[in-house]
Amino acid sequence: MPKGIYGKINFYLIAFFILLILFGINTGETSAVWEKAVSLCLSCMGIG
Amino acid sequence: MLVFRRWIQIAATLLSNAFLLFPLTRNLYQGRLKSICVPGLNCYSCPAATGACPLGAMQSLFANIRPSIQAGRIHIGLYVIGFLGLIGTLIGRMPCGWLCPFGFFQELVFKIPSRKYEIPRILTAGKYVFLGLFVIILPLFVVDEFGYGQTWFCKYVCAAGTLEAGIPMSGLQPQLRHLWGWLFFNKVLILLILLVLMVFIRRPFCRMICPLGAIYSLFNRLSIFKMVYHPDKCVHCQQCYKNCPMGVRFYEGANQPDCIRCLKCMQESCKYGAISFEIAGIQLEMPRHKEEHPKVMSDI
């Protein structure tokens, strides 16, 4: 595949993933991640 | 460059685990930084962790999709998918070689003097099975009567969770030891097996199991940072393969899924300048002494 095509794909992918991040932040996913991360994850520890 | 990478690995490990008050609080860090994912595998239930594990966060969001939608929230993991996709598009699997605390730990254990072995190549496909099954399918589709799934990879497989969270938290909060059961001992067994393998095999967890590495590896061929192979300069001495922490045969092609862009092959192994890297199509090469290609020398 020509290099120019990769450049365009990269550009669109970066824009797409930034949009996903912004959409996630806007819908409050960061709070959901925070709530999970600050509570003791018994599954991770192999307890619950 | 290699010393520089070590320092980056140490700094990334310390920054991901910078909550040093945990012996006093005997609990996890509760600050807002924990809403931000770290690029490497670092359990968020590690008492010193200051960020969120992207793999744990992704599974958690997948496992709770149904209840969150029923509650009117669209928490379907876009934040974490976007975060991992952005890093992957920029640098591919580079975080595994530079920023992952568990990868760094495996490299240190591998330094223990012993006879070293190679794994069959087919086993490196295992990480995609763990990604598809334990991180995506099972958390999404195996749910209880209330619609809640489980974080399958964290619960049944993740050795980083046992090492960074299970064992230290059980020390900090002794009441947790009463909850130890077959699940805990199963995870300790997995950790022990992996610890033994780490002595004899290069990064066994990264190559065979890690779903995070599997996600990043999907971007290796199209990321902005790319490794470049110059076949005209390669003498197939296999030094790149012998020194590679992931056992990648670079002479079989650049940007293979297991390449973690540690640059060890380029800096330490290849004497003939057959390996370089490019950023956004601009080829760069670190200055170092290059020997003449033997074929060229013999022609003179």
Angle (deg, nearest 10), helices B182-200 and B101-110: 50
pTM given for the model: 0.93
Separation between Cα atoms, residue B57 and residue A10, nearest integer Å? 25
Torsion angle, alpha carbons of B126, B183, B13, B118, to 10: -30
% chain B with pLDDT above 70:
94
Q: How far is A17 from chain B (nearest CA, A)?
A: 4
% chain B with pLDDT above 90:
91
One domain, residues B117 and B237:
no
One domain, residues B25 and B149:
yes
One domain, residues B172 and B268:
no
Sheet with B282-284, strands from edge to edge, namely B225-229, B275-279, B282-284
Separation between Cα atoms, residue B22 and residue B24, nearest integer Å? 5
One domain, residues B137 and B43:
yes
Alpha carbons within 13 A on the beta-carbon side of B99: 17
Average pLDDT, chain B: 93
Torsion angle, alpha carbons of B217, B220, B224, B230, to 10: 150
- Whether residue B280 lies within 8 A of chain A, CB to CB, comes out as yes
Enclosing domain of residue B23:
2-217
Torsion angle, alpha carbons of A25, A31, A33, A38, to 10: 150
Of A13, A34, A42, the CB nearest to B85: A13
One domain, residues B269 and B209:
no
One domain, residues B213 and B246:
no
- Model pLDDT for residues B177-233, shown as the tens digit of each residue: 999 999 999 999 999 999 999 999 999 999 999 999 999 999 999 999 999 999 999
ipTM score of complex: 0.92
One domain, residues B286 and B156:
no
B217, B240, B273 - which closes a domain = B217
Whether residues A14 and B30 touch (CB distance < 8 A) is answered with: no
One domain, residues B286 and B153:
no
One domain, residues B29 and B153:
yes
Task: Tell whether the model's pLDDT for residue B16 goes beyond 70.
Answer: yes
Please tell me whether residue A48 adopts helix, strand or coil conformation.
coil
pLDDT the model gives residue A48: 74
One domain, residues B201 and B260:
no
Residue A37 parent element (H or E) = helix A29-38
Whether residues A44 and B158 touch (CB distance < 8 A) is answered with: yes
Torsion angle, alpha carbons of B114, B120, B126, B128, to 10: 110
- Model pLDDT for residues B105-141, shown as the tens digit of each residue: 999 999 999 999 999 999 999 999 999 999 999 999 9
Task: Tell whether the model's pLDDT for residue B247 goes beyond 90.
Answer: yes
